Amino acid sequence: MVCDLPGVNTLLRAFSNIHTGTKTGKLSLTLQGEQWHYYFLDGRFLFASGGTHRVRRWQRALNRHCPHWRIDIQGGIPKGLWEYQLLHRAVASDSLELTTGKAILAAIAAEVLFTSLRPTEISYHWTPSHQQGPRESRLALSPKEFRRLFESVLALWQQWQALGLTYISPDHAALWTGKTGDSNSSLTTRSARTFFNGQYTLWDIAQRQRRSLADLTRTLHHFINQGTLQLREIGDLPSPLEQMQMVAAAVAPPRRTIAYIDDSATAGAYLRQIIEPQGFELMFIQNPLQDLPLLLKQQPELIFLDLNMPLIHGCDFCSFLRKTSVFQATPIVILTNSDGTVDRVRANLSGASEFLKKPAQRQDIRQVLDKYIQSMPLTSANGQLFQAYRSAVN
């Protein structure tokens, strides 16, 4: 491949050295403050990443080559190069064809390459590694396949440059600011309301309209210069891991609140370690008189109450709570270092539901929870979570 652009030649030489040297590692570039990375295994291309729209690129590649494929999250969502790991898992389990997996890799790499190309000289850094991917991975592009991909991206980039479109970033979103219904423009009809609303990048619009990026942008060029179409930066979509966490939070029941009133922070930390793994939220209060409004607002389902506090005796505060309509039926469990008969009688007279000696044992605390509060699952059923997640990522 012959090219008179220094930046392109720099990348060509770097990739050629990796291919011929059958190197394993990561090639990193810093362009306009953003990091771009190319991963290789024994000279074969594995994956490309970088920029601010990592998930958008992933979704576009899936929508183009396997719109009906559903991510299998039963094995968990990996971190790091999660895109490659998900594809590798699917290919290894035969839930995705190898050719489809390689097509997705190529689609993502094409966008990264397009953004990486520069007419001026660029610099890069090579980080060797022996653990970038499975040593026997079939999911990789050969040097010949990668070179063919590079040539197609370079042709698009040169066309982009010849049309005078280099001032436009395809990662920007298009927002129509002209009048709808203008007969002089097809952009002012339904497409303007659907695609040019500031929510889709030019990459997104080109794919959804099944047009080449250069053809679409050439059409928009006039309206951008006219001022009726504005380009603006837009954020990325949530990753599969973030989507899974959001779905889990949405389908899981709210955590129920238990209060612990004690002037000792150490005692509060100890009880928190026992309570919260059971699926409850512990509201720790050191000054019950000062934090009474918070207690009334939260209305915990159960209250653990220390007997000996500096500002008010536990039995006195228990009697006060029992006189309020909010806490007349709330289980109140007295915790104290003293286990005398007088304290027990006084606790009963104040309306306490239970009396435990400090430090309370884990088994005793759990028995109290089972006795006074109906047990709750820590998370929603896996089947419900998986089903909701699959719908969310579609």
* CATH number of the domain residue 268 falls in: 3.40.50.2300
CB 71 within 8 A of CB 86: yes
Q: Are residues 182 and 280 in the same domain?
A: no
Mean pLDDT score, 294-321: 90
What pLDDT is stored for residue 388 in this prediction? 45
Q: Examine the domain organization and report whether 298 and 156 are in the same domain.
A: no
Please indicate, yes or no, whether residues 153 and 25 belong to a single structural domain of this protein.
yes
- Range of 308's domain? 253-372
- Give the model's pLDDT for residue 2: 53
Report which residue type is found at 317: F
Residue 71 maps to a domain: yes
Within this chain, do residues 25 and 103 fall inside the same structural domain, yes or no? yes
Q: Which residues contact 132 (CB under 8 A, 6 or more apart)?
A: 24, 25, 26, 39, 40, 41, 46
In-domain check, residue 137: yes
List, for residues 139-175, the tens digit of each pLDDT value.
999 999 999 999 999 999 999 989 999 899 999 999 9
Share of the chain above pLDDT 70, in %: 85
Per the structure, the count of domains in the chain is 3
- Is the domain of 87 the same as that of 125? yes
Instruction: Please tell me whether residues 225 and 277 are part of one structural domain.
Output: no
Residues 192 and 142 in one domain: no
pLDDT for res 4: 65
- 223 and 321 fall within a common domain: no
Residue 394 pLDDT: 45
Within a domain: residue 242? no
Domain shared by 37 and 157, yes or no: yes
One domain, residues 81 and 138: yes
**Is there a single domain that holds both residue 43 and residue 133?**
yes
Asked if 193 and 109 sit in the same domain, the reply is no
Cβ atoms within 10 Å of 239's Cβ, excluding its own: 16
